[in-house]
């Protein structure tokens, strides 16, 4: 898939399903590299989950960095994006190399049945578009799906919540304030670092969270 076609597909889905797409353009390669950096710091086969991969801009970086023998699951709620990803695993040379160890699941994350916890989770979910209780449910579900010592990476557009809180109606401001409180709580418990990515539309922060290696079963809550 060329970059122009990918942008057109993404923009069409943005117009039709803003609440679950949440961006006007696919992630830049610089953002994709920051999101997938945990893949470079680990040894041996990994279990990797990508949530909300969209057209596969970040997926393209994951498949290039995926260690031999790894397992890769993708959870995408949008049927057209899921079909597009399946097509890429059949016809895109980089994707095809890891097709046998990869699965695209078209469902909400809450319905995804994980066989084992994951070493790395990469999320493209547009948290700012969701109700605050859903944001809390989704981020806690991702954290629960991590193996002890596992890492989660997700991105936020820089300064979007503070700006929207100043110009939005009261109901939206209250929702965004609740989301900010939820994320700041999780950051205080799990965040290891923040990457600043300026070469993206719009510029973004990549938040890196780690589940401490306590020996607790990551799937015990399910």
At 198 the pLDDT is: 95
46, two tokens: 């990994």
Reported confidence tier of residue 26, pLDDT bands at 50, 70, 90: confident
Rounded Cα–Cα distance for residues 43 and 27 (Å): 26
Q: Is the pLDDT of residue 1 over 80?
A: no
CATH code for the part of the protein at 3-210: 3.40.50.150
Spatial contact of 45 and 154, defined as CB atoms under 8 Å apart: no
Q: For 142, left (φ over 0), alpha (ψ -120 to 50), or beta?
A: alpha
Spatial contact of 146 and 118, defined as CB atoms under 8 Å apart: yes
Percent share of the chain, pLDDT over 90: 77
- Backbone φ and ψ for 61, nearest 5 degrees, come out as -75, -35
Domain ranges of the chain: 3-210
Per-residue pLDDT tens digits for 124-167? 999 999 999 999 999 999 999 999 999 999 999 998 888 888 88
Spatial contact of 64 and 72, defined as CB atoms under 8 Å apart: no
Q: What is the pTM of this model?
A: 0.85
160, two tokens: 């979007």
The whole-angstrom distance between residue 130's C-alpha and the CA centroid of its chain comes to 14
Per-residue pLDDT tens digits for 36-76? 999 999 989 999 999 999 999 999 999 999 999 999 999 99
Reported confidence tier of residue 24, pLDDT bands at 50, 70, 90: low
Rounded Cα–Cα distance for residues 94 and 195 (Å): 26
């Amino acid at each position: 898939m060329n970059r122009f076609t990918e942008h057109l597909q993404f923009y069409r889905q943005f117009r039709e399903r803003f609440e679950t797409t949440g961006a006007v353009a696919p992630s830049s390669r610089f953002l994709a590299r920051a999101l997938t950096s945990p893949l470079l710091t680990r040894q041996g086969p990994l279990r990797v989950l990508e949530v909300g991969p969209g057209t596969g801009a970040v997926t393209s970086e994951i498949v290039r960095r995926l260690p031999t023998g790894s397992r890769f699951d993708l959870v995408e709620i949008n049927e057209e994006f899921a079909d597009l990803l399946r097509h890429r695993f059949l016809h895109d040379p980089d994707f095809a190399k890891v097709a046998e160890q990869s699965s695209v699941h078209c469902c909400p994350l809450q319905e995804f049945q994980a066989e084992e916890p994951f070493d790395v989770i990469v999320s493209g979910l547009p948290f700012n578009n969701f109700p605050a209780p859903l944001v809390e449910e989704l981020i806690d579900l991702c954290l629960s799906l991590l193996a002890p010592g596992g890492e989660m990476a997700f991105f936020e557009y820089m300064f979007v919540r503070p700006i929207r809180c100043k110009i939005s109606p009261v109901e939206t401001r209250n929702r965004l304030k609740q989301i900010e409180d939820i994320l700041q709580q999780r950051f205080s418990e799990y965040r290891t670092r923040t990457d600043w990515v300026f070469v993206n539309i719009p510029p973004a922060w990549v938040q890196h969270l780690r589940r401490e290696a306590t020996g607790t079963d990551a799937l015990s809550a399910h």
